[in-house]
Structure formats: structure tokens, C-alpha cells
Amino acid sequence: MKETVVVGMSGGVDSAVAAYLLKKEGYQVIALFMRNWDSAINGEDYENADIICPQERDYNDAKEVCQKLDIPLHRVDFIKEYWDYVFKYFLDELKKGRTPNPDMLCNKYIKFDLFKKEAIKLGATYIATGHYARIENGKLLRAKDLNKDQTYFLADVTKDELKNVLFPIGNLLKKEVREIAFENGLNVASKKDSTGICFIGERNFQKFIQNYLQENPGDIVNVAAKKVIGTHKGLMNYTIGQRKNVGLSGHNERHFVCGKDVSKNILYVTIGDEEYLYSDACLIENVNFISATHPTLCTAKFRYRGEDYPVELEYLENNEILVKYPSKAKAVTPGQACVLYLGEECLGCGFIKEIYKNGEKLWYL
């Protein structure tokens, strides 16, 4: 029998197959289910919130998988910690007019910190998750299935936190993962992948956020004409590049969100795919390098599933980097992560603070 591995069991097919593969390799496998959100405790106040976010169903699915694989399942609540380390930050960023990425914080503070500590209590030598990613020689690498690659969400996890971590499905395509689940009679083989922000799930974002942030309507301004053309429902409901649900249904042209002014409560929009959506540099802060390599030339993703842009890095003081992308990028968004890559290797990330074009900070962001 190999060493003990504690697997983060979510109730989905990816973590189920990860557990199966580890047991097949001879590891002593223990499953641990994390409960990070409770609709009632966390103040949601609309009908059927507990149905829309079905954590109990996920737990029951995880329990059935573990019974099938004959591995023990433990359960731990991180509801308070998730609120303190992830959700408060999420709300604070929205108040600043930024677009936060709570899934990255969940990985950093919950899945690869608190979860890891809990796993050690259970006797773990390693922890494992169902992330699509690979670790080789201490380097975080993109998954074989580039369409499912999740290194973007892992880029803020520290090098130390990634020690003794296994990603069993990182060398598999998603279709291969489902095939393994079907072949072994796992109940989650055809279960739909979860989408959206982890604690929101499939629910309507605007209705969800109204439980925590009060609506504050203000002017929608055409950024080119500097003219008021409508009223927004609160800046927290919009992100840069957004086209749908902007609130300008009476206008024939397609409008895109291109900026926010929190102090004046203004939402800036541009008509069509205009120059106001593009930039050629951004300043990132709170930089985390997983890799020992700190290049001046590499590529960057400004959003999950976004394209890789060739970039030049200028290292500044206060753990900040000026990221230059001469080919220009669309809808680079304050608060989002800029994740750096050198070929297959994920180097780390920083969070977008300011955005520039032609050497000047964009005034409407």
C-alpha cells in the first residue's frame, strides 16, 4: 500500500475519477467534502435558494461515489472561513467597481490551505483534487485538455502550497474522464459540470448580489460623446466588455461596458466594438510567482478561456509589474487576474490595478 492521499471530493465527475485513479495506483485514499456556503446562514433572502445551490445533493453524490470505491468520506465546514477570506473580499472589490475572481481566492485560502491542514490531520502524505492541471518537477503546467485547463485559477496558490499536491486527471481529456466514470459505474458519470462562481452556482447574479449590496442607480454615459443615455442599476452588476443586460433596450446600437467611475457612480459605455475597449498595457499588483523563472518576455491571459497575449514585463517596486502587450487586448478588467505563462508552464499571476493605452492611464476605468 502506498502513502495516504486525501482527495477533495466535490460530488462531481472530475474528483470522483481522481479518487478512482489514485486507488487504482495503490494509494490509501480518503475523501474529504468541503461545505463552504450556507444560504440560510449567509443571509440570502429569496425563494428556493437552498434548491438553486444544492450542496446536499453534491454531498450525497460524493457519498455514493465513496461507497462504490470503498473509501472513507469525511465532511468539513469552512462556511465562516469562506466568508472571511473569500466572500468579504468579493464584496469589497465590487464596491470598488472592480471585477473580482473569488474562485482564485477559494483555491488559495480554502482548498490549498485550510483543506490541506485538515487533510494532514487525517494522516495525508499528499492531497489531490480534480483540477485540470499538471505538476512536474515542481512546475505548474497546463493540462493536456487545453479546453478544460484550470491553471488560470491556480495561479495565485503559492509554490509551498502546491507541494505534495496531485492532479490525477491533468493528463486526461474531459471525454476520457467521463469514459472512465461510465466504465466503472460511477453515479456522477453524466452529471453536468458546475458553472459560474462557486457560491452562486446557476443562480441569477443580480438577484443574488442584492442580498448583500444595496442597489445604487446612476447615469449611463456614452464615453465618446460624454452624454447621459440611460440609468444603470448599480455598478456592481456590470463588468468591462459586457454587452447583454446593459439596460439600453431602447437603443438600436450594440453598447458595451467600457468603464466605471465609482466616485461619481457613472457607468461608461461605447457603441459597437470601438477603441475604448482596447488597451496595450496594465499594471498588476500582489504578484505571486510559482516559478523560479521571472522572464521579461512571456505570454499572459487576462481572463479564463481568454487568448494568450505575447507580453513584456517591467518589474517595479511594491511587488508590481507593468505588463505591456503591443498587439492590444480587449476588455482588460480591473480586479481580474493577469496570469503569466512560459509555454506550458504557469509562472504565477498578479491582479489588474490600472490599465493604459499609448502610455496614458485610461481615464474612464
pLDDT digits (tens, 9 = 90+) for 83-123: 999 999 999 999 999 999 999 999 999 999 999 999 999 99
Query: What is the structure's pLDDT at 147?
Result: 96
State the CB neighbour count (10 A cutoff) for residue 42. Answer: 16
Which helix (H) or strand (E) segment holds residue 92: the answer is helix 88-95
Weakest-pLDDT range from 150-164, 191-205, 220-234, 292-306 = 191-205
- Closest listed residue to residue 355, CA positions, set 284, 254, 270: 284
Strands 139-141 and 227-232, how do they pair? unpaired
- For the chain, give the mean pLDDT: 92
Cβ 303 vs Cβ 333: under 8 Å: yes
User: Measured between alpha carbons, how far is 279 from 300 in angstroms, rounded to an integer?
Assistant: 14
Question: Strand, helix or coil at 307?
Answer: coil
**Residue 49, pLDDT above cutoff 60:** no
Q: Please give the C-alpha separations between residue 320 and each of 38, 288, 327, 353, in angstroms, as whole numbers.
A: 36, 10, 22, 9
Strands 278-289 and 321-330, how do they pair? antiparallel
**Residue 356, pLDDT above cutoff 80:** yes
User: Measured between alpha carbons, how far is 141 from 58 in angstroms, rounded to an integer?
Assistant: 29
Query: What is the structure's pLDDT at 46?
Result: 46
User: Measured between alpha carbons, how far is 283 from 262 in angstroms, rounded to an integer?
Assistant: 19
User: Measured between alpha carbons, how far is 146 from 174 in angstroms, rounded to an integer?
Assistant: 10
Cell 447583454, located at residue: 244
**Residue 354, pLDDT above cutoff 60:** yes
User: Measured between alpha carbons, how far is 17 from 33 in angstroms, rounded to an integer?
Assistant: 15
pLDDT digits (tens, 9 = 90+) for 123-143: 999 999 999 999 999 999 999
**Residue 146, pLDDT above cutoff 60:** yes
Where does residue 115 fall: left (phi above 0), alpha (psi -120 to 50 degrees), or beta otherwise? alpha
Which residue among 53, 66, 106, 338 is the active-site one? 106
Query: What is the structure's pLDDT at 57?
Result: 87
- The sign of the CA dihedral 49, 51, 53, 55 is positive
**Helix 13-24 / helix 55-69 crossing angle, nearest 10 deg:** 20
pLDDT digits (tens, 9 = 90+) for 240-298: 999 988 877 666 788 999 999 999 999 999 998 779 999 999 999 999 999 999 999 99
Residues 6+ apart with CB under 8 A from 107: 153, 154, 156, 157
Neighbour order of strands in the sheet with 4-8: 73-77, 28-35, 4-8, 126-128, 165-166
Beta bridge partners of 360: 357
Cell 466568508, located at residue: 83
Mark whether 258 is an active-site residue: no
User: Measured between alpha carbons, how far is 114 from 107 in angstroms, rounded to an integer?
Assistant: 10
State the CB neighbour count (10 A cutoff) for residue 88. Answer: 12
Mark whether 338 is an active-site residue: no
Query: What is the structure's pLDDT at 222?
Result: 95
User: Measured between alpha carbons, how far is 340 from 289 in angstroms, rounded to an integer?
Assistant: 9
Strands 126-128 and 4-8, how do they pair? parallel
DSSP 203: S
User: How large is the average pLDDT for residues 74-79?
Assistant: 95
Higher pLDDT, 50 or 321: 321
Which helix (H) or strand (E) segment holds residue 177: the answer is helix 174-183
Neighbour order of strands in the sheet with 255-261: 227-232, 218-222, 266-271, 255-261
Query: What is the structure's pLDDT at 199?
Result: 57
Q: Which domains are present in the chain?
A: 4-183 (3.40.50.620), 214-273 (2.30.30.280), 276-361 (2.40.30.10)
